A and B are shown apart, each in its own frame.
Chain A
């Protein structure tokens, strides 16, 4: 009977260990996406993510038909504006938080013929910008950001080498920088 009690006690304790491990993993994972993309280049600019199948180690389960780029940022430095003229093909933009959660994402259809232009800001920064809005404020897509750090991912459909060159040329002119408040 006492052994049964010990086993039941162990099961309950095991349940607690399970919950703590699962909830704690995002906090303690040393090799998550936010950490790994830092190796692709400096923050506040779009750096290419190696293509899968090219022989260079890269992030898992990426589409080999796409050219993908990543830009890390931290809102503690101010809101971040992501802009650029994208090539005339299918593309998407996604903003991930520091734990690698895909928080905000759109395809090129949302921009029509207009260039990519997104402002990532927290509630306080958005309020400050509203007080003294820039001229093009109404065309801006504003992402209400609940975290500090994060990274933006651009995925451009580039099935051939020439498409890859077009994508690289567009990205060379794209920016991902801290924007002035108002």
Chain B
């Protein structure tokens, strides 16, 4: 094999491996160190004052302004408690309880990361409007159709991610928070 050909092989390998791995870690967010709790995942490194180089690159690329630990923490769930992807048009029930927080909000984003519009005009649900069961636990219905009790509207179709943001909460510090008890997302059915 002539030298020039070997040089081309080396350069092609370098570019594919170098840019490919950079794209996977930064572009696809593989390197965003995650913090898992039940059905939920958070990325506290993104809101850290001293983020690692991958998180810095992800922040610069996406223009996110994430919550810092002194504000709160955002947990994301794209799958139900049976590990099936969450879909618009289906009905889910969020049960259990959240970690201690002064305030929490619940919302959803679509596959593009955008907050979908719902005919009810509602884009969120929060802890100051929640009705608790007699034993103090939560039951929030996620459905495209209006439901009695605690109802969070979701779209009629498409992939879905549920976002639970805990404000002023010890859960924002993974090192000291311990094991978090997060609500479960149970599938009820699809239309």
In Å, the complex CA distance between A63 and B12 comes to: 43
Number of A-B contacts (CB under 8 A): 195
Residues of A close to B165: CB separation below 8 A: 63
A13, A35, A61, A159: the one contacting B10 at CB < 8 Å is: A13
Q: In terms of DSSP, what is the predominant structure of the interface of chain A?
A: mixed
Cβ contact of B70, chosen from A23, A35, A100, A107, cutoff 8 A: A107
Distance of A32 Cα from B36 Cα, bound (Å): 27
A42 at the B interface (CB under 8 A): no
Q: Chain A residues near B47 (CB, 8 Å)?
A: 102, 105
Bound CA–CA A132/B6 (angstroms): 69
Q: Please pick, from B62, B68, B117, the residue contacting A105 in the complex, using a CB distance under 8 A.
A: B68
Partner of B105, one of A7, A33, A65: A65
A10 in the interface, Cβ–Cβ < 8 Å? yes
Contacts of B54 in A (CB 8 A): 22
Chain B: interface residue total (CB-CB under 8 A): 60
Residues of B within 8 A of A94 (CB): 65, 67-68, 70-71
Q: How far is the CA of A104 from the CA of B26 in the complex (A)?
A: 24
Q: Kindly state whether residue B57 has any CB partner on chain A within 8 Å.
A: yes
Chain B residues with CB below 8 A from A92, complex form: 67, 70-72, 167
Contact A3 B107, CB 8 Å, known A17-B15, A25-B57: no
A contact residues around B56 at 8 Å (CB): 25-26, 99, 101
